[in-house]
């Protein structure tokens, strides 16, 4: 049995978002962009992120949601702190996660990337199970799409975005994957 169906990975819980579009003709996935999110900020385990990505978040339900009114965003995957993995957009489609962005001189990252949101905050640490599941997912994506680079939103939209932030352990991820350093952003130390 195939582990993929029309860009949906069977290892994740499917929750379709309406916020996506087609990739440009000839666009091939070659990048994964990591993000961090929690709604409300600093609160984990609820369904607010899923509601945001499916356009069902009530902006009046919490003061922190007011600025999200009418926002239409998505990511391909959302990795919760407990290791649960949800998929919102087929990897064959273009999710709306990176915005104005560029990776190594190539603009419009959404066209050729897969977006993965990690439940967490910029600057906070992430859970071991998140690194475990993320490494598994990245290997699966590499098997399906070939070589993929991995960058943070902060790397593809510097000055505009700061996630996943200094709490994300890039060295740990590289060690788990055993991929060459050239596939990641330049890291200190």
What CATH number does the domain containing 153 carry? Answer: 3.40.80.10
Nearest CA to 111 among 33, 179, 3?
33
Residue 99 zone, left/alpha/beta (φ > 0; ψ -120 to 50; rest): left
Instruction: Give the pLDDT of residue 189.
Output: 63
pLDDT, tens digit only, all 189 positions of the chain = 579 999 999 999 999 999 999 999 999 999 999 999 999 999 999 999 999 999 999 999 999 999 999 999 999 999 999 999 999 999 999 999 999 999 999 999 999 999 999 999 998 999 999 999 999 999 999 999 999 999 999 999 999 999 999 999 999 999 999 999 999 998 776
Is 182 in the active site? no
Enter the DSSP assignment of 137: H
Q: Is residue 189 part of a domain?
A: no
Q: Is residue 186 part of a domain?
A: no
Q: Nearest-CA neighbor of 168 among 149, 151, 182, 180?
A: 151
Question: How many structural domains does the chain have?
Answer: 1
Domain membership of residue 188 (yes or no) is no
Report yes or no on 182 lying in a domain.
Answer: no
Contact by Cβ (8 Å): 41, 124: no
- 187 lies in some domain: no
Look at residue 8 and tell me if it is in a domain. Answer: yes
Q: What is the pLDDT of residues 153-180, one digit of tens each?
A: 999 999 999 999 999 999 999 999 999 9
Catalytic residue among 28, 93, 117, 154: 117
Residue 91 lies in a domain: yes
Domain that holds residue 18: 4-177
pTM: 0.97
């Amino acid at each position: 049995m195939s582990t993929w169906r029309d860009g949906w990975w069977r290892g994740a819980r499917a929750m379709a978002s309406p916020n996506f579009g087609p990739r440009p003709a000839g666009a091939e996935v070659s990048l994964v962009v990591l993000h961090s999110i929690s709604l409300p900020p600093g609160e984990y385990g609820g369904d607010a992120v899923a509601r945001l990505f499916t356009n069902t978040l009530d902006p009046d339900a919490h003061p922190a949601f007011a600025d999200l009114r009418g926002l239409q965003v998505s990511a391909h995957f959302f990795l919760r702190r407990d290791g649960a993995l949800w998929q919102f957009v087929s990897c064959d489609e273009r999710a709306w996660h990176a915005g104005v962005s560029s990776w190594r001189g190539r603009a419009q990252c959404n066209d050729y990337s897969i977006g993965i949101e990690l439940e967490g905050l910029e600057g906070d640490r992430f859970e071991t199970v998140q690194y475990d599941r993320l490494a598994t997912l990245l290997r699966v994506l590499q098997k399906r799409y070939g070589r993929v680079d991995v960058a943070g939103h902060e790397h593809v939209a510097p000055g505009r975005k700061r996630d996943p932030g200094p709490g994300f352990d890039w060295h740990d991820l590289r060690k788990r994957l055993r991929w060459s350093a050239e596939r990641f952003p330049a890291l200190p130390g």
